[in-house]
């Protein structure tokens, strides 16, 4: 499994090229890095099927040049061009780039002027006040760098689930394929679909644990073995994550799966229920005296404790146990239940693909409708659209819909935009143009530092615009990178209810915005939500799944999510609810 290593190299290549001011190429490498990261299939397997041709056909964005790069890597384990570039620029680019606000051009200057090569160097230089003295830098950028470094430290190295999930699923499949494995499943925070994960917990049922351990240790992407015993092995993977593997007998599978899925808080609460009933619960089973009364399956275990089955995404001891006892658990939205995607960027602004390519990618994912929501004018670096460009794009969408219809596709492309919320809460596109769009999303992309009060007022003012349908990625956080803006979530949710505004669950893995706690509040208040990919390339539409996980962790049902509805129901909701002209 080479995908994560390869993606990292491609991404570094993009940064190295950008540092050298090479035009176009950086974007191409970055695009492919993202595609590779999202692949479920091993790049090696794709290559085996048909060489560089298969790479070009199977991985979005791969042309002749990058196909050669990947081929060399698969064949020799290294790429000469990449190594040459690394030698010329001996800095930890990925490590430096991870700091919010630090980009390739800045890395180049910092390296050339201050010999900054690592994040530690960067911190030292900033603390010594050396950065503010550089041309084009200042006290503000120095402070921002230090803030970024502090934030990275506080996130404690947890990884974003959406970034590592494809690899984890590949690993799970490999273990499931061991002849001696009766079952294999990844438990822990991965199974609960937390936004970020600390490590991977794998559970295997087998009568031959020693054989399982032997085969597991042969998997090529293990970097280091911390320890390996008869039924338990701990390793570090090449992607930097730790993995725990445990083998259990079939009669303990349910109890072990329950225990290692967690959360710890959920487990503690279950154990207390067991004790009250005069039982004992541990990872081997539920016992009355020495007799096991449940533990083979999770369903049986919950039943014996007097509870309905609780979905893993809910197991945080935040009310799910009481609800399970009272038979009041929500019927969660299911994976695969979305019919549309209401936030998609294209090459009209900062997306990689054309509207038509995005439409076909959506068809492939089984969607019935999408909204094209390119950025608007005040986000100048993306080539944001003004009223004129938006009008032109609407005409292009009409044509695209005709073309799709002629080709026999049922997909409907909606006209939309991701409009900027200006500092005072007004929008950067005039109402006359907004009124012509099917879906108007708006987001905060500037002035992140306003006080909570100002920020709340700003967003509510935007929601009061009758043309606005959805607030995109409300908190603007980037996990492990940027703190959310400050706002009063209760006030915002009340205002969303009053104005009929939809709040988005942005499924882009490092956004996952709004978070589960707010989703739960929206469900309670009757505020509708959408789950959108925020795709900037065809491969990103798959992120919708990550959004469904997030929605489930927030107790959302199908009815709470507007793009799980049929198109006609959505459209009439958009019109009636906002009293749009």
Which residues form the interface with Ca ion (CB under 5 A)? 188-189, 199, 201, 244
- Token pair for 548: 């469904």
264 binds ligand DGT (CB under 6 A): yes
Identify the CA nearest to 467 among candidates 343, 344, 384, 578.
578
The stretch among 248-256, 341-349, 360-368, 503-511 that binds Zn ion (CB under 5 A) is 341-349
Q: Smallest distance, Å, CB 426 to Zn ion?
A: 21
Which partner in Ca ion, ligand DGT, Zn ion, none is near 350 (CB below 5 to 8 A by kind)? Zn ion
Q: Which of Zn ion, Ca ion, ligand DGT, none interacts with 345 (beta carbon under 5 to 8 A by kind)?
A: Zn ion
Tell me which of 58, 68, 95, 198 binds ligand DGT, using CB under 6 A. 198
Stretch that binds ligand DGT, among 3-11, 112-120, 254-262, 532-540 (CB under 6 A): 254-262
Q: Nearer Cβ to ligand DGT, position 102 or 197?
A: 197
Among the listed residues 35, 170, 189, 533, the single contact to ligand DGT using CB under 6 A? 189
Contact by Cβ (8 Å): 563, 486? no
Alpha-carbon distance of 548 to 561, in angstroms, equals: 10
Member of 35, 170, 345, 538 binding Zn ion (CB under 5 A)? 345
By CB atoms closer than 10 A (0-12, 13-18, 19+), residue 410 is: exposed
**268 lies in the binding site for ligand DGT (CB under 6 A):** yes
Residue whose CB is less far from Ca ion, 256 or 537 = 256
Buried-exposed string 530-559: b where 16+ CB fall within 10 A, e elsewhere: bbbbbbbbbbbbbbbbbbbbbbbbbbbeee
Q: In the 8-state DSSP scheme, what is residue 484?
A: P
Alpha helices for 20-63 (secondary structure H): 25-38, 43-58
Q: Quick one: tokens of 244?
A: 């725990």
Q: Is 5 in the site for Zn ion (CB under 5 A)?
A: no
Per CB under 6 A, 195 contacts ligand DGT = no
Minimum CB distance to ligand DGT, residue 60 (Å): 30
Measured distance CA(478)–CA(189) in Å, rounded? 20
* Sole window of 136-144, 260-268, 382-390, 395-403 interacting with ligand DGT (rule: CB under 6 A): 260-268
Q: Is 350 near Zn ion (CB under 5 A)?
A: yes
Q: Do 472 and 440 form a contact (C-beta atoms < 8 A)?
A: no
Separation between Cα atoms, residue 339 and residue 120, nearest integer Å: 47
Residue 324 Cβ, how far from ligand DGT at the closest point, in Å?
A: 18
Closest of 398, 407, 409 to residue 438, by C-alpha? 398
Q: How far is the CB of 419 from Zn ion (least distance, A)?
A: 12
* Residue 510 is a binding residue for Zn ion (CB under 5 A): no
Choosing from 267, 345, 349, 456, the residue that interacts with ligand DGT (CB under 6 A) is 267
Residues 6+ apart with CB under 8 A from 541: 341, 344, 358, 361, 362, 365, 367, 533, 535
Span between the terminal Cα atoms of the chain, in Å: 54
Q: Which is nearer to ligand DGT, 5 or 199 (by Cβ)?
A: 199
Binding mask 203-242 for ligand DGT (x = CB under 6 A): ----------------------------------------
Helix-helix angle 104-114:3-19, to 10 degrees: 70
Nearest approach, Cβ of 350 to Zn ion (angstroms)?
A: 4
Judged by CB, which is closer to ligand DGT: 201, or 352?
Answer: 201
Q: How many residues sit close enough to ligand DGT to count as binding (CB under 6 A)?
A: 14
The residue whose Cβ lies closest to ligand DGT is: 262
Using CB atoms within 10 Å of the CB of residue 197, give its burial: 0 to 12 exposed, 13 to 18 middle, 19+ buried.
buried
Give the Cα separation of 224 and 238 in Å (integer). 8
Q: Find the shortest distance in angstroms from Cβ 235 to Ca ion.
A: 12
Among 197-205, 341-349, 450-458, 469-477, the segment contacting ligand DGT (CB under 6 A): 197-205
Minimum distance, C-beta of residue 242 to Ca ion, in the bound complex (Å): 7
Backbone angles phi, psi at 547, to 5 degrees: -70, -35
Contact region for ligand DGT (CB under 6 A) — 47-55, 216-224, 263-271, 286-294?
Answer: 263-271
Count of CB atoms situated within 10 Å of the CB of 308 = 16
> Which residues lie closer than 8 Å to 305 by C-beta, 6 or more apart?
270, 273, 274, 277, 281, 286, 294
Tell the smallest beta-carbon distance from residue 575 to ligand DGT (Å).
43
Three-state secondary structure of 386-414: CHHHHHHHHHHHHHHHHHHHHCCCCCEEE
- Note the residues at the interface with ligand DGT (CB under 6 A): 188-189, 194, 197-199, 201, 259-260, 262-264, 267-268
Binding residues for Zn ion, per CB under 5 A?
A: 345, 350
């Amino acid at each position: 499994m080479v995908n994560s290593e390869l993606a990292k190299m491609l991404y570094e290549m993009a940064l190295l090229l950008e540092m050298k001011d090479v035009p176009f190429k950086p974007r191409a490498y970055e695009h492919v890095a993202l595609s590779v990261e999202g692949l479920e299939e091993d790049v090696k397997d794709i290559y085996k099927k048909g060489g560089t041709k298969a790479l070009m056909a199977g991985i979005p964005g791969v042309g002749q040049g990058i196909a050669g790069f990947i081929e060399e890597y698969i064949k020799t384990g290294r790429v000469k061009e990449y190594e040459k570039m690394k030698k010329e620029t001996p800095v930890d680019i990925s490590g430096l780039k991870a700091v919010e606000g630090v980009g390739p051009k800045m890395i180049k200057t910092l390296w050339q002027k201050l010999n900054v090569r690592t994040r530690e160097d960067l911190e030292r230089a900033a603390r010594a006040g050396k950065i503010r003295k550089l041309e084009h830098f200042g006290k503000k950028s120095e402070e921002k760098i230090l803030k970024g470094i502090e934030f990275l430290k506080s996130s404690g190295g947890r990884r974003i689930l959406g970034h590592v999930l494809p690899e984890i699923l590949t690993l799970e499949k490999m273990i499931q394929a061991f002849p001696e494995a009766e079952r294999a499943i990844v438990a822990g925070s991965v199974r609960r679909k937390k936004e970020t994960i600390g490590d991977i917990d794998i559970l295997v049922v087998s009568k031959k644990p020693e054989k399982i351990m032997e085969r597991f240790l042969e998997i090529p992407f293990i970097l280091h073995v911390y320890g390996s015993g008869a039924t338990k092995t701990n390793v570090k993977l090449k992607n930097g994550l730790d993995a725990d593997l445990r083998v259990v007998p079939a009669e303990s599978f349910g109890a072990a799966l329950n225990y290692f899925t967690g959360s710890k808080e959920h487990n503690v609460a279950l154990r207390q229920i067991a004790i009250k009933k005069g039982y004992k619960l541990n990872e081997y089973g539920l016992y009355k005296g020495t007799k096991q009364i449940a533990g083979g399956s999770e369903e049986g275990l919950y039943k014996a404790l007097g509870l309905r089955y609780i979905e893993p995404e809910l197991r945080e001891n935040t009310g799910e146990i009481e609800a399970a006892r009272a038979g009041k658990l929500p019927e969660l939205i299911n994976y695969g239940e979305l019919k549309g995607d209401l936030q998609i960027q294209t090459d009209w602004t900062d997306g990689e693909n054309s509207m038509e390519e995005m439409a076909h990618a959506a068809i492939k994912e089984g969607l019935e409708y999408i909204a094209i929501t390119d950025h608007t004018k005040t986000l100048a670096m993306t080539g944001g659209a003004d009223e004129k460009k938006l009008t032109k794009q609407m005409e292009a969408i009409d044509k695209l819909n005709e073309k799709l219809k002629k080709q026999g596709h049922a997909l409907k492309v909606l006209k939309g935009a991701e409009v900027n919320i200006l500092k005072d809460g007004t929008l950067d596109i005039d109402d006359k143009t907004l009124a012509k769009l099917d879906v108007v999303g708006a987001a905060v992309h500037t002035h992140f530092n306003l006080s909570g009060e100002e920020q709340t007022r700003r967003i509510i003012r935007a929601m009061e615009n009758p043309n606005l349908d959805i607030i995109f990625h409300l908190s603007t956080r980037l996990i492990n990178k940027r703190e959310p803006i400050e706002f009063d979530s209760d006030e915002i949710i009340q205002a969303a209810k009053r104005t009929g505004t939809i709040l988005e669950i942005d499924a882009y893995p490092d956004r996952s915005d709004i978070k589960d706690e707010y989703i739960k509040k929206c469900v309670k208040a009757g505020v509708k939500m959408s789950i959108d990919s925020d795709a900037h390339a065809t491969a990103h539409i798959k992120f919708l799944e990550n959004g469904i996980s997030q929605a489930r962790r927030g107790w959302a049902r199908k009815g709470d999510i507007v793009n799980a509805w049929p198109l006609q129901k959505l459209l009439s909701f958009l019109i009636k609810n906002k009293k749009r002209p």
